[in-house]
Structure 1
């Protein structure tokens, strides 16, 4: 296929001229090494023969690299660069299968000013980070917003019961326990306004935590057995992933009634 890139044409022309020159020189050395007048000069004959063979072999290898290897390497580099560009534009910071390790929760929560929680109930996470959440809620310049499934919505409760292999009574109990648990971070229910709780019938496809300018997202299993690891990722503000999760969260919050304070 023709190319309109003059620099590439010049580079290819130089390469093929050098390759042809190498073949000519290599062939000449092989020819000279077999001449009669070098029969008494074995060292020179052997040297010319080896240099000629080396030049021809080098040109052959270089040609194979140019025809196959260099182009394959170039395509591979393009794939790597495209992937790097996609990661950069998405704002993806880290990814793993353990939400406890995908981010330093102590560091993030200890310095956070705004925390949004979009989860089914996140009991394990809440208990693991209880001290940090209490300290966050006690700071006058901080705010915690929690968006939980509505325990009074039959369809929502039924869906969660099916997802987590629980009874509807157990689901309502877990949701009400979560609501009361998050209220306690507000100085045991002082209604300071630093802790806000919303309920919504929206079915969870993932759990998301927005910590200032960062999202931490964990996915769910769809199999009957709930054990095992969960994919988790973090993304920063300015990327397409953050924009998606932010728009999604704000859309749910805007359509959800606030039940506390």
Structure 2
């Protein structure tokens, strides 16, 4: 049966033929350098001796490379290629530990027409991007959808209070503050329909922003100290990560427990 790797076999054959020829030639030069004629031509004898030793050493190094180095290098290359393929299929475009720097928020939000916000309240992020929201909503085809925890659901409040180490009253106040803040974006309460606010008792395991054809996702700490950095990443449309978060977000929107609060 014909081999499935003919090019590899040919390459290996050429490699070993050349290596074997180099070894034979090296030993021949070492033998020749010891002939009596070279006693009277020491420079030529030294040259032949050193060249022969070099060829034999090269053969030894080439053999070690073929037996160990090349295979290790191939394994490492395959690992890199597989990782690159995984990244490509997932659609991952950036990763870091600071959501403020993971994307250029001014550029992304300033040029966007669709924004979905799935967060506990994201107060700091909302305040920092007020101008960007106004630029986004100035477009005729713009839309912002906001998904927030249900401030009337006691189980939701209890879970969020435990998650963020707040009292239930503090959690309710933060959610209501976020609701009022997003309402004010809609032409100062004119209810144009460009801003939609939904509440749901779904537990927040992460914060996600869908900005046109990409997601920006940030994770949460599990310890009581919420300070410091935490993982954040972006993914593009067409990748498996984007598909997961899109399906997850639309699933929340279509859930029977989700309520459209505004308008």
| TM-score > 0.5 by shorter chain | yes
Query: Structure 1, residues 14-39: CA drift from partner, whole Å, max 9, x if none?
Result: 11111111111000000000111211
Normalising by structure 2, what TM-score? 0.97
Alpha-carbon deviation of 1:223?
A: 0.4
What is residue 38 of structure 1 aligned with on the other side?
38
For residues 11 and 228 of structure 2, the distance between their equivalents in structure 1, rounded to whole angstroms, comes to 55
The equivalent of 1:260 in structure 2 is 262
Q: Secondary structure at the match of 1:140?
A: coil
What is the DSSP-based 3-state SS (H/G/I as helix, E as strand, rest coil) of the residue aligned with 2:185?
Answer: coil
Number of aligned positions between the proteins? 260
Other structure's SS at 1:196 match: strand
Query: Are positions 1:172 and 2:172 aligned together?
Result: yes
Q: Does 1:142 align with 2:142?
A: yes
Whole-angstrom distance in 2 between the partners of 1:6 and 1:135: 61
Q: How does 1:215-226 map to 2 (within 5 A)?
A: 215-226=215-226
Q: Which residue number corresponds to residue 4 of structure 1?
A: 4
Distance 2:168 2:44 in 1: 94
Report deviation, 1:257.
1.4
Residue by residue, what CA displacement relative to the aligned partner does 1:226-254 show, whole Å, maximum 9, x if unpaired? 11101000000000000000000000011
| Residue 64 (structure 2) pairs with residue 64 (structure 1) | yes
> Is 1:78 aligned with 2:51?
no
Partners of 1:95 and 1:234 within 8 A in 2? yes
SS at structure 2 position matched to 1:17: helix
Q: Equivalent residue of 1:184, what SS? A: helix
Gaps (5+ residues) in structure 1? none
SS of equivalent residue, structure 1 residue 234 = strand
Helix, strand or coil for the counterpart of 1:94?
strand
Hey, what's the Cα distance between the residues in 1 that align with 2:232 and 2:5?
44
Tell me if structure 2 keeps the 8 A contact 1:217–1:234. yes
Query: Which residue is 1:203 aligned to?
Result: 203
Residues of 2 paired with 1:160 and 1:206: CA distance?
A: 12
| Structure 2 CA distance for aligned equivalents of residues 20 and 103 of structure 1 | 57
Partner SS for 2:56: helix
> What do residues 49-89 of structure 1 show as CA deviations (whole Å, max 9, x unaligned)?
00000000011111111111111001100000000000000
Q: Deviations over 1:106-165 (max 9, x none)?
A: 000111000000000000000000111122223221000000000000000000001111
Report whether the alignment pairs 1:121 with 2:121. yes
| Alignment match, 1:235 | 235
The SS at the match of 1:100 is coil
Give 4+ residue runs of structure 1 displaced > 4 Å after superposition: none
TM-score when normalising by structure 1? 0.98
| Secondary structure at the counterpart of residue 186 of structure 2 | coil
Whole-angstrom distance in 1 between the partners of 2:55 and 2:139: 75
Is the contact made by 1:138 and 1:186 (CA closer than 8 Å) also made in structure 2? no
Q: What's the Cα RMSD here?
A: 1.1
The answer to whether the 8 A contact 1:138-1:187 is kept is no
Unaligned runs of 5+ in 2: none
